Structure 1
C-alpha cells in the first residue's frame, strides 16, 4: 500500500488531470481585496463545504497564486457561484494580468469582499485556517454571511471545458409514492427518449408536468432553455390557479381551478379552458412580468412549499392577461411565444400529463409554432398508442 507521500513513477500529471477531469465540479469566483483595497479575484473549481457547526467552507488555490497571496494578507474572501451565462466572467477572472473587474458589476457585504452581480449564490468568509497540500493550499473559511442570488443554472467545469446542469432527461424525486404518481412516472419513462430527441431537434427545453392535488409538478425535463431563461427544476411546483394549468383544466372538470378566482373573473378562466380544449393545445406569450413569475417559481422549495409560499406566487398572476391562450397567430407575425403545451391523454380521454416546450427564443415565426406544437403532439400520440 502506498504511503501518503509516495507517488508511482508511472503517474503522469497530465493523465492525472485528465482522469480527474471526468468528475464535474462547480465554477466559483473567489473575490476579495488586496492590501491597498483594490478588488482581486480568481476562479476555483475546488470549492466545498466543510462544517455546519461552525459554518466552514474551503477552496484550494495553487501555492504560486498571486491572487491568493493578496487575499491572505487581508484575511477575507467571498465565494461567488457563477451562473452558466457568466462563462465570460470566469474566463476574465482566470486570465493573468489586465483589469480583471473591468465591466463586471459588484457590491460588498459583510467582509467588504466583492459580491458579483448575477451570482447564483454567494458566501462571505474570513480566513480560518490554511494548510499545505502538495502544490496547493487548503484554505478554510469561516462563513460570516451568505445568501442565494439570482436563480439560474450554475456553471460547471468538465473534461477541461465549461458546461452546465443539463442532463438529457431528468426525473423528479421526492414526490409521494401514490398509485397515480407511480403511473405518471411510468409514462415519464416512456417519454424521456422522445423528450430528449425533441429537445435536440427544437433547441428548447421540453418539460413533462402532472397535476398532483392543487399543484402542477414538473416530473421530468430534457434539454435547456434559451440563454437568460431559468431552467425548470425537476420537482418544481406551481399553483393550480388560473391562468396557470389551463391544459389540465381543459381536459378535466375545471370547477376546482376556476374556484380560485373571484366571481367576476371565473367566466374568463372558463373561456380559457374551453379555448384550449377546442384547439387541442395551450400557449403563452412573453411579457415583462413573466420573468418575476419564473423567478418566484424557481425559488419555491421542491419539497412541499407552504400555502403562504404558493399564495405569494399566486399574487404575481394576472388571470385576465392576454398573454395566456392568445386567440390566433398570423403567418407573417413575429410571435413572442413563451410556451407551447399539449395534453397526454389516457384511453378514455382523461388527462395524464402535459408536455411543454419552454425556454423558446424571444420571437418565433408561425412555422416555429407549428413545429413546436406538432412535435409535442406526435410524442403525446405515441404514448397514448402504447398505453391504449
Structure 2
C-alpha cells in the first residue's frame, strides 16, 4: 500500500511524509497565534489547525507541537490571540513561522484584551485565555476560552494547501445553516439553477451578483458570485437586512406592499408606496450612493448571520431614512457620472410573485448610463432565463 511500511509484527505504519502529503490536500486557514512571554515580549507562531469548538461557552482550539518554544511561552502566560491572516499577509506568516530572531520586526500590532498582540490588517482576531490542554501524539490540543473577538478587515483569507499558500477563489457561494423549511428548500433549488448564470453575469459585468430571498421579516443573501469593486465590503452568504422601507422595495413591488409600508408612520407611507409602485412599473430597482451608504453597508456586514437579535436589526433600522431620495430615483439623467450603488431585478414565479431578487452590487463609484443599462439588462436576461414570469424593461 503506498505510504505504508510493513513492521516485523505485521502492523502497517503510515509514512509521515505520505501522511502529510495526503492531508495537505485538505485546505485550511492560516492563523497567527500570538501572545506574550513571561517578560512581556511578544511571541508568535503560525497554525493551520485553528478551529471553533463550542458556542456556549465560546471555545476555540489550535494544535501546536509539544516542542514549540512559542507554545511553552504561551503556556506560562495562559493567553493567546488567533489572528486570521489575509491573502496579502503571506510574508507575515513566513516571518512568524521561522525559529528564533525578532519575529515581529516590521509587523504592526496592538495589545488585545488579554495583552496578546492583535496584528494590523488581519481579517479577524479571537482573544482567549487557555481553558484546557489535551495530549494528542506529538502535538497538544489547546482549548481557548474566548474573551473578545472582532472582524477588522473583511478580505480574502490566506490558505494552506498542498504544502503552499493560496487564497479563497470560489466564484460563487451559497448560504448554509438556514431553517430546513419547504419554502427555504425551494429557494435553494432555484439558487442551484441560478448560480451558473449568476457566475457568468458577474464575470461579464465585473461586479458582485447577489441572490436574495424574503424570509418572514428579513431579506437574506442566499448566494453570491464575483467580487465587488475594491474598497467595498463583499456580501456574506446568509447576510440579512431588515425588510423595512426603503430596503426591500423589489420584494414589496410584487407582493403585499402594505405589509412593508405599514412599518412607517402614516405621513411616510405614501412615499414608500410610490417606491414600490415605481419598481413595479419599471420592472427593476436601483439605488444611488449617498453620504450614509458606507455606514449602512458596514452595519449590515456586522449583523450576525445566525439570527441577529431584534436590537441589532433595530440599530440598522436607525440608519435608514424612508424618504431618502437615493432609493428608486424618479429618473436617471443620461450622463457619464451616475453614483449607482445597486441595480436589482426580480425572479418571478408563474403567478407573478417574486421568488428571488438578483442584485448587481459593489459597483464602481461612478457609472455611465450605458453601464446602468448593461447591469439592468444582464440581470433581466438571467431572471427571464430561469423564471416563467415576464418583466418589462
Q: What TM-score do the two structures reach when normalised by structure 1?
A: 0.81
Alignment of 1:1-388 (within 5 A): 11=15, 13=17, 15-49=18-52, 57-62=60-65, 67-68=70-71, 70-72=73-75, 74-83=77-86, 89-90=92-93, 93-94=96-97, 100=104, 102=106, 104-110=108-114, 112-117=115-120, 119-126=123-130, 128-129=132-133, 131=135, 133-134=137-138, 137-138=139-140, 140-143=142-145, 145-150=147-152, 152=154, 155=157, 156-159=159-162, 160-164=164-168, 166=170, 168-175=172-179, 177-178=181-182, 180-287=183-290, 289-326=292-329, 327-333=331-337, 335-385=338-388
Contact 2:81–2:125 under 8 Å retained in 1: no
Q: Closer, same or farther in 2 for the Cα pair 1:318/1:183, shift >3 Å?
A: same
Contact 1:151 1:295 in 2 (8 A): no
Cα offset for 1:99? 6.2
TM, length-normalised to structure 2: 0.80
Distance 1:60 1:347, change over 3 A: closer
Q: How many aligned positions are there? A: 380
Gap change, CA 1:239 and 1:75, over 3 Å in 2: closer
Unaligned runs of 5+ in 1: none
CA deviation profile, 1:155-205 (whole Å, cap 9, x unmatched): 233332222384634144423523x44443332232122112223333332
Q: Which runs of 5+ in 2 are unaligned?
A: none
Does the Cα contact within 8 Å between 1:175 and 1:235 map onto a contact in 2? no
| Counterpart-to-counterpart distance in 1, 2:324 and 2:254 | 22
Does the CA contact (< 8 Å) of 2:118 and 2:125 recur in 1? no
Is the alpha carbon distance of 1:183 and 1:130 closer, same or farther for their aligned partners in structure 2, counting shifts above 3 Å?
A: closer
CA RMSD of aligned residues (A): 3.7
> Are the aligned partners of 1:58 and 1:138 in contact in 2 as well (CA < 8 Å)?
no
1:10–1:218 Cα change, 3 Å? closer
1:356–1:149 distance in 2 versus 1, CA, 3 Å: same
Instruction: Give me the whole-angstrom Cα distance separating, in 2, the residues matched to 1:50 and 1:184.
Output: 30
Whole-Å separation in 1 of the counterparts to 2:107 and 2:196? 42
- Report the Cα distance in structure 2 between the residues aligned to 1:57 and 1:319, rounded to whole angstroms: 42
> Take 1:250 and 1:380, find their aligned partners in 2: how far apart are those partners?
16
Quote the offset at 1:367 in angstroms: 3.7
Deviations 1:108-127 (A, max 9, x none): 312x1112355424132248
Deviations 1:280-328 (A, max 9, x none): 2222233453333334333434444443332222112122223322331
- What SS does the aligned partner of 2:387 have? helix
